[in-house]
Structure 1
Amino acid sequence: MRLKFLLFILASMAFGAAAAAQDEDRPFAVEEVTDTAPVVVGTAATPAADPENTLLLDLSTGGRVAIRLRPDVAPHHVERIKTLTRQGFYNGLVFHRVIEGFMAQTGDPTGTGQGDSPLPDLEAEFNRLPHVRGTVSMARTTDPNSANSQFFIMFMPNLNLDQNYSVFGRVISGMQLVDAIPRGEPPANPARIIRASIQSDNVPPPTAAEIAAASRPAAQSGTAALEAALAAEGSGTAPQ
Structure 2
Amino acid sequence: MSRKLALAAALAALASPALAFEDGPGPNLVIEVDGTAKGEIVVDLLPDLAPKHVEQITALAREGAYDGVVFHRVIDGFMAQTGDVEFGKHGDDTSRAGMGGSSRPDLPAEFSQETFARGVVGMARSQNPNSANSQFFIMFAPGPFLDGQYTVVGHVIAGMDVVDAIKKGSQSQNGAVKDPDWMAKVTVAE
Give the TM-score, by structure 1 length: 0.62
Q: Which amino acid aligns with 1:149?
A: S
Quote the offset at 1:62 in angstroms: 1.6
Match of 1:123 among 88, 108, 125: 108
Match of 1:192 among 178, 182, 188: 182
After superposition, where does 1:166-177 map in structure 2 within 5 Å?
A: 166-177=151-162
Quote the offset at 1:199 in angstroms: 1.4
Question: Which secondary structure does the structure 2 equivalent of 1:142 belong to?
Answer: coil
Greater strand share, structure number: 2
Aligned match of 2:53: 77
* Higher normalized contact order (CA 8 Å, seq sep 6+, divided by chain length): 2
After superposition, where does 1:69-218 map in structure 2 within 5 Å?
A: 69-109=45-85, 110-111=87-88, 112-184=97-169, 185-200=175-190
Count of residues paired in the alignment: 155
Quote the offset at 1:46 in angstroms: 6.3
Aligned match of 1:57: 31
RMSD: 1.5
Q: Which amino acid aligns with 1:193?
A: M
Q: What 5-or-longer segments of structure 1 have no aligned partner?
A: 1-44, 201-240
1:83-118 residue CA offsets vs partner (Å, 9 max, x unmatched): 000000100000000001100000113132101000
Question: Which secondary structure does the structure 1 equivalent of 2:180 belong to?
Answer: coil
Q: Which amino acid aligns with 1:183?
A: K
Question: Which secondary structure does the structure 2 equivalent of 1:82 belong to?
Answer: helix
Q: State whether residues 32 and 185 of structure 2, in contact with CA within 8 Å, keep that contact through their aligned partners in structure 1.
A: yes
Residues 70/46 of structure 1: CA separation in 2 closer, same or farther (3 Å cut) = farther
Cα distance between partner residues in 1 of 2:103 and 2:156 = 26
Identical counterparts, % of pairs: 48
Cα distance between partner residues in 1 of 2:48 and 2:33 = 27
Cα distance between partner residues in 1 of 2:181 and 2:21 = 28
Structure 1: 4+ residue segments shifted above 6 A: none
Q: What 5-or-longer segments of structure 2 have no aligned partner?
A: 1-19, 89-96, 170-174
Q: Mean Cα displacement is larger for which, 96-105 or 59-68?
A: 59-68
Residues 48/113 of structure 1: CA separation in 2 closer, same or farther (3 Å cut) = closer
Q: Which has the larger radius of gyration?
A: 1
Question: Which secondary structure does the structure 1 equivalent of 2:52 belong to?
Answer: helix
Aligned match of 2:5: none
